[in-house]
Amino acid sequence: MMEYSDYSPKEQLQMAVCQRLISERTYLSQEEIRRDLQDHGFDSISQSSVSRLLRLLGVIKIRNAKGQKFYTLNPQLRPAPDAARSISEMVMSVEHNNEFILIHTVAGYGRAVARILDYHQMPEILGVVAGSSVVWVAPRVVKRTALVHKQINYLLRTH
């Protein structure tokens, strides 16, 4: 099987965005996934490309409580957390709006990234809340959210 690094940067980005979308939202069809990928900058992505991405990511379909089949990441194919992994490999994206910062991580690394932020005791950060693959950061002063975003990018070496 090919390693993640064997793919082009564009393919890696498509895989990362697709993985994040599927982990955050419920999709009943590949067309829904394709539309969301288009909304995230992959304007010319085809249905066959989406199908290939799903196969590469090991995405499966399962039934929800209503009996509908939806796409989900196969928990058996998720990489086990690796302490030797560099911080920049753990982080998929860091984004912000006017009020807070979200850090999307590889599944299983959210708490590790939050712990790194806690360790550095950045005075500009009011609080950090972590899940398995996302870290929510509240800046102490909302007007400085963009600055805190830059500082986090620098700290995590994602710039």
Parts of the chain belonging to CATH 1.10.10.10: 4-77
Task: Report pLDDT digits (tens) over 71-115.
Answer: 888 766 655 555 556 777 788 889 999 999 999 888 788 888 999
Could you tell me which CATH class the domain 87-156 is placed in? alpha beta
Which of these CATH numbers, 3.40.140.10, 1.25.40.10, 1.10.10.10, 2.60.40.10, describes 4-77?
Answer: 1.10.10.10
Average pLDDT, the chain: 85
Interval 127-147 mean pLDDT: 94
pLDDT band for position 117 (cuts 50, 70, 90): very high
Tell me the percentage of the chain whose pLDDT exceeds 70.
Answer: 88
Number of separate helices (H) and strands (E) present in the chain: 6, 6
pLDDT at residue 1, as a whole number: 45
Map residue 15 onto helix, strand or coil.
Answer: helix
- Indicate where the chain has its CATH 3.30.1360.40 domain(s): 87-156
